[in-house]
Amino acid sequence: MKLATWNINSVRLRIGLVAKFLKSEAPDVLCLQETKVINDLFPSEAFKKLGYVHQAINGQKGYHGVAIVSRLPFVKTGAQGFCGKDDSRHMGVTFENGIELHDFYVPAGGDIPDPRANEKFAHKLAFLGEMATMFGKRRGKKSARTILVGDLNVAPLEHDVWSHKQLLDVVSHTPVETNLLGEVKSAFDWTDVTREFIPHDQKIYSWWSYRAQDWEESNRGRRLDHIWVGQGLKGAVTSQEIHRKVRGWQQPSDHVPVVATIAD
């Protein structure tokens, strides 16, 4: 199974870029975040023409939204809500081979890293806490073949950001966020696929701000997009790649695809 995850930042606006990527890389499964479209207006036919006839969509007008499109059939689909809100931030599917896949779009959290002063940041912390609880309840199933992907909006490690010291007080890399993401990770004993292949002392990013005049020259990125596997798939991942070049395409998302290949 070749699996890709990508915060597309409006799937209808960038369907041409998605098609270009799918034709070039041909993943079996593509997980999208921030699709920004209700289910009825999701570009289903465009994906079907590309061979991705199996689709699990959890959309929302103008905001958020996640979707899984696949060449492989699902035997089960379902979305879970978080924090008592109606925003569309999760989709789960199970494939015929028994692999269970969860696609997440964690709240960005705004600009002020104080939950008392910033409701968006409080929401993000609560969301991560509920993720940890969700998978903590499933610890007895941690040997199952399970995958978690998505824009988790946290760069957890020192070299997941361009400057650890300068970003310690910046949302996405604050200690409270990285600690909470660590709790999510340990709750199900997940393995971070990217860092299984790229040493922890090597900088690697999947997001570059639109605010940068020259994102490539400044290279002030963060690794916000992740693929994790449970213990049932540990050792089954044969490759991973962060497709940095996609950030240089015309009218790109600020995120790039992350891809992993898993031996079935």
Mean pLDDT (whole number) for 42-50: 98
Please check the confidence at residue 141 and state whether its pLDDT lies above 90: no
In tens, the pLDDT along 71-86 reads 999 999 999 999 999 8
Mean pLDDT (whole number) for 153-167: 98
Share above pLDDT 70 across residues of the chain, in percent, rounded to a whole number: 100
Please check the confidence at residue 142 and state whether its pLDDT lies above 90: no
How does the average pLDDT of the chain come out, rounded? Answer: 96
CATH number at residue 149: 3.60.10.10
Confidence of residue 143 (pLDDT cuts 50, 70, 90): confident
- Outline where DSSP puts E strands in the chain: 2-7, 29-33, 54-58, 66-70, 74-78, 90-95, 100-105, 146-151, 191-192, 207-208, 221-222, 225-229, 237-242, 258-262
Report how many domains make up the chain.
Answer: 1
Confidence of residue 90 (pLDDT cuts 50, 70, 90): very high
pTM over cut 0.85: yes
Q: Which of 59-63, 126-130, 162-166 has the lowest mean pLDDT?
A: 59-63
Residue 125 domain boundaries = 2-262
Confidence of residue 144 (pLDDT cuts 50, 70, 90): confident
Share above pLDDT 90 across residues of the chain, in percent, rounded to a whole number: 95
CA distance 164 to 160: 8
